[in-house]
Structure 1
């Protein structure tokens, strides 16, 4: 049936019509999932239309086609969710893709604080804390670690600072994901925690030394 249509309108004309169909504005705005579903649906419709009685090869063939289409849609949806989780994890990471030393994070935090950019200054100061704790082996470096995870791990090693670390993580989340503006008081509290932690030692090491 399809070959007969091609013979009637000519291969060049068929190619031209196909290109015109694909460049229609509604197709340009489709997502990958929408385009895949549309192509599968169109293929299925052509398959049904070309078969005698609308059932190609009988009921069994129809069931196979439905299963294949469903599997393809499920695969595409799974890939979409996987990509979304990857982007979310990257967005929530405390330290981000650019590696800086604790001193560099502190210097950037002070520069931002001097400009009253409190939310950004708070973020940089907690990053300084994270880098310093990793550098001194208080916590093990972990790519993609969140502020809450840092507070939990560091709080176990430095129990005297656990409550302040948890508060610092909440403040970081508020100015990062809660769209809070931050404040000078919040930054000073974060800077004070950073200064105090620079001389803190894990509880086990402190107990052994005593």
Structure 2
């Protein structure tokens, strides 16, 4: 081995290590990306070699996967968030009096449609309170709002009114299923409220007088 070459090689290495020779070198991120693309290219090359038909077969397989994904999205539709329904209005089908709601509730109950029966009985209950001037008629009122407002003149029934409102929301908007017992509970509350004497404040007492 020619030992005279060693100092020359070391001198060259030292010279090339100076920053001026590396100003245009790629930064660490760029080098990492270059390695990544090289790896992906090698992976695709390997896959195309293993796939039937080579690169063309790989493209066909990719198109099939894309078509299956598109068909699945079209079939199932885009995922959507379920809206919060408990804040929807209590009355949906226009003005009806308490008697009409009670008739509808009894019809549904006779047919075993407990979900509809519970909802109509809650509407009858609230409409009856409006007809007795214990609640101001207000479009867009929710079951929770009606129960909270009715609890002021009927404090002895406030807890049961709130429970009835939650039951209405669970059945109407929460996907719950009512049964005969749920309807009987709502019916009992409606009948009790018909004969319940309100605790009137000063304003209501003047109006009643």
TM-score (norm 1): 0.54
* 1:136 alignment counterpart: 132
Structure 1 unaligned spans of 5+: 1-86
* Cα displacement (A) at 1:157: 1.2
* Cα displacement (A) at 1:199: 1.1
Count how many residue pairs are aligned between Structure 1 and Structure 2. 123
Q: 1:102 to 1:164 in 2, by over 3 A?
A: same
Is the 1:138–1:201 Cα contact (8 Å) retained in structure 2? no
* 2:118 alignment counterpart: 122
* 1:194 alignment counterpart: 190
- Map 1:129-168 to 2 at 5 A: 129-168=125-164
| Structure 1 residue runs of 4 or more that deviate by more than 6 Å after TM superposition | 87-91
TM-align CA RMSD: 2.6
Is the 2:86–2:169 Cα contact (8 Å) retained in structure 1? no
What is the DSSP-based 3-state SS (H/G/I as helix, E as strand, rest coil) of the residue aligned with 1:157?
A: coil
Q: Deviations over 1:140-176 (max 9, x none)?
A: 1110000000000001110000011001000000001
Q: 1:188 to 1:88 in 2, by over 3 A?
A: same
Is the 1:112–1:118 Cα contact (8 Å) retained in structure 2? yes
Distance 1:89 1:126 in 2: 17
Q: 1:94 aligns with which of 85, 90, 106?
A: 90
The structure with more radius of gyration: 2
- Higher helix fraction (1 or 2): 1
* 1:107 alignment counterpart: 103
Distance 1:89 1:144 in 2: 13
TM-score (norm 2): 0.54
Structure 2 unaligned spans of 5+: 1-82
Is the 2:86–2:173 Cα contact (8 Å) retained in structure 1? no
* Cα displacement (A) at 1:115: 0.9
Whether 1:182 and 2:174 are equivalent positions in the alignment is no
